[in-house]
Amino acid sequence: MAQCGGERGWIWTVSGGVKFIFALLALVDDGRLGSCSRTGVRVGGGRWVKGVSSLRVGSWNIGTLTGKSIELVKILKKRRINIACVQETKWVGSRAKDVDEYKLWFSGRLNDRKGVGILVDSGLSVQVVRVKRVNDRMMTIKLVVGGFILHIISASVPQAGLGEEGKRRFWEDLDEMVGGIPPTEKLFIGGDFNGHIGSISGGYDDVHGDCSFGDRNGGGVPLLDFAKALG
């Protein structure tokens, strides 16, 4: 598990065997975005407080959604997750689907083992005002929540061995997507970035979340560099 980011937004990535993480996001009326990580802990659902709107947003490399969508929703409901980014869905198409008390937007290609999606609970799905599917590795939704505009991005970096060109295109696409979001709007990126940022900040004190483990590898460097550029 890794967390990096700043006042503009937060990036969460799943690695090292941690399959599901979620954060409590506090959208504060002075323009800040705060977060508190949770792993496997049941806490209360999203709530409204004067000046603060709180949501629970998660990220999970699901491996496949085929035959698992109902099981996934049960887990989201148990942990009271409002929004969940999923990767490696292996679902084909660019559509939306109702799954129990959630709405799922997904993007995937024929004969491809990737695919990403975003699930939003029924209370918030009506607040989604835009959906943009870049490809089978990246998509975003835009919501208006309690007077705030929130962008959720679900992303999946190409694995090691799939070529540097594919990775370069991924980071260019992500940079372009984030660059199109006004600084006054909130941003959450959940995904599988296929890298470790390590337990030590090592020159990235301003964006390193201090909740990772192990050593930083080659995949963790571009993630931290992107978070630093995100500001």
CA nearest 115: which of 146, 82, 92?
A: 92
Q: Tens digit of pLDDT for each residue in 98-156?
A: 999 999 999 998 666 689 999 999 999 999 999 999 999 999 999 998 778 899 999 98
Say what the pLDDT of residue 117 is: 95
Residue numbers of the domain that contains 68: 2-230
Residue recorded with tokens 């109902």: 70
As given in the structure block, the two tokens for residue 125 are: 């799905």
Return d(Cα 9, Cα 230) in angstroms, integer.
8
Say what the pLDDT of residue 33 is: 43
Confidence of residue 202 (pLDDT cuts 50, 70, 90): confident
Question: pLDDT: is 109 or 7 the higher one?
Answer: 109
Question: pLDDT: is 6 or 94 the higher one?
Answer: 94
- Indicate whether 164 pLDDT > 80: no
CATH number at 113 reads 3.60.10.10
Strand 83-87 with 52-61, pairing = parallel
Is 76 in contact with 100 (CB distance < 8 Å)?
no
Q: Tens digit of pLDDT for each residue in 60-113?
A: 888 888 888 888 899 899 888 899 999 989 898 899 999 999 999 999 986 666
The domain total for the chain is 1
Return d(Cα 109, Cα 166) in angstroms, integer.
16
